[in-house]
Amino acid sequence: MSGFVDIVFNVNNLAATIRMATPIALAAMGGAFSERSGVVNIGIEGMMLTGAFCGVLGSHLTGNAWLGVLFAIVGGGLVGALLAVFAIRLKADHVVTGVGINILASGATTWLMQVIWKRKGASDLVAGLGTWSVPGLCDVPVLGTILGTHSPLVYISFVLIFLGWVLMFKTPLGLRIRMTGEHPEAADTVGINVHAIQYFCVILSGCLAGLGGAYLSLAQLNWFSKDMSAGRGYMALAACIFGGWNPLGGLGASFLFSFTDAIQMRMQTAQISLAVEIIQMIPYILTILILASAVVRSRPPAALGKHYESGHANK
């Protein structure tokens, strides 16, 4: 029992939780913007995967990891634009379109990896982002271990998530976004361009998920591997819903998922009398349980998943 307590309540677990929560929290914020505008975003997984691939491709072509991050943001945004065109302009089913994007991203990135690097499993090594140490903080006992040294994207993500919360809940644009997802007819009546708001939010969602993907490939690793997002996009969607479609709530939910992920990784190295496969399932089981609970208890935006055409009733 004491061994299990040592595994759970460990300072290194908290540091690992922050590292692993970063891509999920970024993608969850993207999902919050998309769904607050009324567009269901099941395609976060594909956007993250595209971002991870484009980040490595950009670093490979330029030799600069930060340009790779820019590639990742643009790549994720382009996939977001693709979802927006199908879901908003062509009025395709949001869920089906998102699933199709995930399948497309998985197949396309695997094929392109073989074309560019002549490998099936992983790309070549590229320049990564490295880590930042916060002066003074990294020398503080315990707190320095948890927060003192991380990838620069960890610190940037905290700032972005706070700014995303400010944008969504403290600005006129955020009010327009929330109004579009709750009552697009009323938004249209007062002169808000519903489709423009939705395009903006879905593309922003793709950019943020792409940034989360860049973290996977340029901060945690320095290469791209097949399907390396490994379900984190679905975790991000669960975090978005569990967090009440709020960037800060999504961050908190991401910490919860990542904490269980950190625990299962430590359990694999400890002498725990459970099969490795069962231990690896822990974060995903928690994701399913929390998502099921959140779906029952949470109230999504009223117009989520509905098609809207100016001057006509929802379809």
| Residue-wise pLDDT tens digits, 192-216 | 999 999 999 999 999 999 999 999 9
CATH number of residue 286's parent domain: 1.10.3470
Q: Per-residue pLDDT tens for 203-256?
A: 999 999 999 999 999 998 899 999 999 889 998 998 999 899 999 999 998 998
- Give the pLDDT confidence score for residue 103 in this predicted structure: 96
Q: Per-residue pLDDT tens for 65-109?
A: 999 999 999 999 999 999 999 999 999 999 999 999 999 999 999
In a domain, 302, yes or no: no
In a domain, 315, yes or no: no
Write out the H or E segment, with its range, that includes residue 150. Answer: strand 149-150
In a domain, 86, yes or no: yes
- Give the pLDDT confidence score for residue 274 in this predicted structure: 58
Are the C-beta atoms of 209 and 30 separated by less than 8 Å?
Answer: yes
Full-model pTM? 0.89
The SS3 call for residue 136 is: coil
Query: Which residues span the domain enclosing 108?
Result: 2-138+146-297
Binning pLDDT at 50, 70 and 90, where does residue 10 land?
confident
User: 122 - beta bridge partners?
Assistant: 225
In a domain, 311, yes or no: no
Are the C-beta atoms of 65 and 127 separated by less than 8 Å?
Answer: yes
- Give the pLDDT confidence score for residue 170 in this predicted structure: 96
- Give the pLDDT confidence score for residue 289 in this predicted structure: 76
Sign, CA torsion 275/280/283/284: negative
In a domain, 307, yes or no: no
In a domain, 110, yes or no: yes
Q: Per-residue pLDDT tens for 265-310?
A: 776 665 555 566 676 677 777 767 766 766 556 788 999 989 988 7
- Give the pLDDT confidence score for residue 315 in this predicted structure: 41
In a domain, 313, yes or no: no
Which one, of 133, 78, 131, 122, lies nearest residue 101 by Cα?
A: 78
User: 150 - beta bridge partners?
Assistant: 132
- Give the pLDDT confidence score for residue 293 in this predicted structure: 67
Binning pLDDT at 50, 70 and 90, where does residue 177 land?
very high
Binning pLDDT at 50, 70 and 90, where does residue 314 land?
very low
In a domain, 209, yes or no: yes
Q: Per-residue pLDDT tens for 123-171?
A: 999 999 988 888 888 878 888 888 888 999 999 999 999 999 999 999 9
What mean pLDDT do residues 22-49 have?
A: 96
Are the C-beta atoms of 125 and 222 separated by less than 8 Å?
Answer: yes
Are the C-beta atoms of 192 and 179 separated by less than 8 Å?
Answer: yes
Q: What is the count of structural domains for the chain?
A: 1
- Give the pLDDT confidence score for residue 312 in this predicted structure: 45
- Give the pLDDT confidence score for residue 179 in this predicted structure: 95
